[in-house]
Chains A and B, each alone.
Chain A
Amino acid sequence: MASDSLNVAETVDMFRFVSKFMIDQKDILTKADQKIGDGDHGIGIARGFEAIIDLLETTQFDELGVLLKKIGFGLMNSMGGASGAIFGTLFLGGAKAINNQDCLDSENLGLMLQGGLDAVKNRGKANPGDKTMVDALEPAALAADSQISLTDNLAAVTEASRLGMEKTKEMVANFGRAKSLGEKAVGHADPGSISMHLLLKSMTEYVQKR
């Protein structure tokens, strides 16, 4: 399905949509983080994606690797905290995996997710089950299937990330500030895993609406 892919300009437009979508989740993420963190995840995500909107306005891109790399550094250098380092690393890892590509197709989506996952695990040292965004990201990367269309692939990875995010409700945290909570964190989803799922969900919505 050669037509079911995004060129660089369309991918930029998708990340513009994704950024607006994520900024709109500020209050939801703040409320989720107040339950098991220090309540600043929504502020950080909104600050990060506001910086990405500026980046996409002011920079021209002609390939996906540079686009993802700039988004990664943009998030990292505006958000701060553990989430800035992790979500920035997600995009930097994705950038390495699809360097010099000029079309986001089903195969590149899988490569990007796997590259992002490897980089995030290496940086943060979290494994599945630790109640972090890895619990949403890893099932998504595993669900990616290059044999189906980009639209279907995005829908599948989004659903996998949703199920992974839901599972974090049953987990005790081993990382971040929530680890101090022990059993008290059970019943609440990890805010980073919610953001990871919403990121994929907004990409899917963009492609479906197109």
Chain B
Amino acid sequence: MSDTKKIINDPKKVVPELLEGLVAASHGSLKIVDGTTAVIRSKLTEGKVGLLTGGGSGHEPLTGGFVGENLADGAVCGNVFASPTPDIIYEAIKAVEKGKGVLNLVLNYAGDNMNFEIACEMAEADGIETRSVQVWDDVLSASKDKTEDRRGIAGMVQALKVVGAAASEISDLNELERIAIKTRDSLCSVGVAVSAGSIPETGEPTFTLAADELEIGLGIHGEPGVERQKLIPADELTDMMVDKLLADLPFQQGDRICLLVNNLGATTTMELLIVNRRIRQILEEKGIVVYDTLLGTYCTSLEMAGFSISFMKLDDELQKYYDMPARSVAFCKG
């Protein structure tokens, strides 16, 4: 049985209300596109490729929390776990377009892909050039030979960091698309959950796990994972997850990576730190260099308890963009 307590008002108004709160926290750096649930930077640079992200809500601070300086120019927010509609995506494309076209960086889900595609067709009819790149970092959601079937999860945060910085330097849409694809292809993530979140409008948990169970590979909307098993100690679990990541890209001795240890909603920083300690032990043993670590709440699934680990392999080009300062409500670097 669900025991859901949520601090909300009308469940139908969670998205506009959370966006109002986001704008209020932004020190004037964000605004809402009139009549929509899209949030954009208050001041946009002329002659720059617009970088737009978005998707269903319920993953806060993703995506709206990553709209800012050297990050995304805008985020289009749908209802909880549902892609935004084409009309508001279209309005957001027009709002962030500053003469060099718009790149959409979205998580790889059927609904997001189709709704962004329809909006892009509408924008193209107005003469606005657009491209879309899907992030598909969840290595357990499909096999390596079907990466385009993989789901996008927390790796989006690292992708927005790199592509957001690149968008400030590169004013050619095709070149920015190349960087976005390269970044996407350098990302791997794996997640684990111990309890479910619940959608505000139904109050029902999106899946159920026994009190002593965990599930590996579970998606950020409660999509089933690959293995359900008894709860095991943090080190044993981390070993298993890191093994899956290392084998996938694959990563090898001498590689430099950016690490993200992400809380899926209700897991404590204490637990994330314990996991991070073990990740570092394994990587040091393998001779893989952790160039930077992000640890905390970045891409959630409502109040799901669990975490994900993401690795982004760096080369000099991606590192240059990763190193640039960035600032938004959810992210600050440099």
A binds B: yes
- Per the CB 8 Å criterion, the residue count for chain B at the interface is 31
Cα separation A80 to B36 with both chains bound (whole Å): 13
Q: Which of A6-51 contact B (CB under 8 A)?
A: 30, 34, 38-40, 43-44
Interface segment out of the listed B2-10, B40-48, B184-192, B220-228: B220-228
A184 in complex: contacting residue of B82, B87, B219, B224, CB < 8 Å: B224
Contact with A along B205-239 (1 / 0, CB 8 A): 01000000000000101111000000000000000
Cα separation A80 to B141 with both chains bound (whole Å): 23
Cα separation A4 to B223 with both chains bound (whole Å): 47
Q: What A residues does B29 contact at CB under 8 A?
A: none
Q: What B residues does A179 contact at CB under 8 A?
A: 149
B26 adjacent to chain A (CB < 8 Å): no
B204 adjacent to chain A (CB < 8 Å): yes
Given that A43-B202, A76-B85, A81-B83 are known contacts, is A123 also in contact with B114, CB under 8 Å in the complex?
yes
Do B199 and A84 have beta carbons less than 8 Å apart?
no
Contact with A along B87-125 (1 / 0, CB 8 A): 110000000000000000000011100110110000000
Do A38 and B81 have beta carbons less than 8 Å apart?
yes
Most A CB within 10 A of own CB, among B80, B114, B202: B114
Cα separation A176 to B149 with both chains bound (whole Å): 10
* Shortest distance from the beta carbon of A80 to any chain B beta carbon, whole Å: 4
Cα separation A91 to B77 with both chains bound (whole Å): 25
* Shortest distance from the beta carbon of A35 to any chain B beta carbon, whole Å: 12
B84 adjacent to chain A (CB < 8 Å): yes
Can you name the residue of chain B whose Cβ is closest to the Cβ of A43? B201
Do B110 and A40 have beta carbons less than 8 Å apart?
no
Cα separation A114 to B76 with both chains bound (whole Å): 33
Contact with B along A72-93 (1 / 0, CB 8 A): 0100111111111110110000
B84 in complex: contacting residue of A80, A88, A175, A184, CB < 8 Å: A80
Do B221 and A177 have beta carbons less than 8 Å apart?
yes
* Shortest distance from the beta carbon of B89 to any chain A beta carbon, whole Å: 10
A148 adjacent to chain B (CB < 8 Å): no
Can you name the residue of chain A whose Cβ is closest to the Cβ of B11? A43
Do A85 and B118 have beta carbons less than 8 Å apart?
yes
A181 adjacent to chain B (CB < 8 Å): yes
- Per the CB 8 Å criterion, the residue count for chain A at the interface is 30
A124 adjacent to chain B (CB < 8 Å): yes
Can you name the residue of chain B whose Cβ is closest to the Cβ of A86? B114
Q: What A residues does B224 contact at CB under 8 A?
A: 180-181, 184
A85 in complex: contacting residue of B115, B221, B223, CB < 8 Å: B115
Do B199 and A85 have beta carbons less than 8 Å apart?
no
Q: What A residues does B319 contact at CB under 8 A?
A: none
Q: What A residues does B171 contact at CB under 8 A?
A: none
B86 adjacent to chain A (CB < 8 Å): yes
Do B86 and A180 have beta carbons less than 8 Å apart?
no
B111 in complex: contacting residue of A30, A77, A85, CB < 8 Å: A85
Can you name the residue of chain A whose Cβ is closest to the Cβ of B12? A47
Cα separation A81 to B55 with both chains bound (whole Å): 9
Given that A34-B204, A38-B81, A44-B82 are known contacts, is A82 also in contact with B219, CB under 8 Å in the complex?
no
B155 adjacent to chain A (CB < 8 Å): no
Do B201 and A81 have beta carbons less than 8 Å apart?
no
Contact with B along A171-185 (1 / 0, CB 8 A): 000011101110010
Cα separation A109 to B138 with both chains bound (whole Å): 43
Q: What B residues does A181 contact at CB under 8 A?
A: 224
Do B199 and A39 have beta carbons less than 8 Å apart?
yes
Do A38 and B79 have beta carbons less than 8 Å apart?
no
Do B222 and A77 have beta carbons less than 8 Å apart?
no
Do B84 and A176 have beta carbons less than 8 Å apart?
no
Cα separation A135 to B85 with both chains bound (whole Å): 24
Do B223 and A180 have beta carbons less than 8 Å apart?
yes
B118 in complex: contacting residue of A76, A79, A83, CB < 8 Å: A76
Do A85 and B86 have beta carbons less than 8 Å apart?
yes
Q: Which of B155-210 contact A (CB under 8 A)?
A: 199, 201-202, 204, 206
* Shortest distance from the beta carbon of A133 to any chain B beta carbon, whole Å: 12
Do B202 and A79 have beta carbons less than 8 Å apart?
no
Q: What A residues does B115 contact at CB under 8 A?
A: 76, 80-81, 84-85
Do A82 and B111 have beta carbons less than 8 Å apart?
yes
B78 adjacent to chain A (CB < 8 Å): yes
* Shortest distance from the beta carbon of B300 to any chain A beta carbon, whole Å: 15
Q: What B residues does A88 contact at CB under 8 A?
A: 86, 118
| 4 closest Cβ pairs, A-B complex | A82-B111, A85-B114, A81-B82, A180-B223
Query: Can you list 23 A-B pairs with a CB-CB distance of less than 8 A?
Result: A38-B81, A40-B201, A43-B201, A73-B87, A76-B85, A77-B87, A78-B85, A79-B85, A80-B82, A80-B85, A80-B111, A80-B115, A81-B83, A82-B110, A84-B115, A85-B83, A85-B115, A175-B110, A177-B219, A179-B149, A180-B219, A180-B223, A184-B224
Q: A39-B199, A39-B202 are in contact. List 17 more A-B contacts (CB 8 A).
A: A34-B204, A38-B81, A39-B206, A43-B202, A76-B115, A77-B87, A77-B88, A80-B83, A80-B84, A81-B82, A82-B114, A84-B111, A84-B115, A85-B115, A88-B86, A89-B114, A176-B110
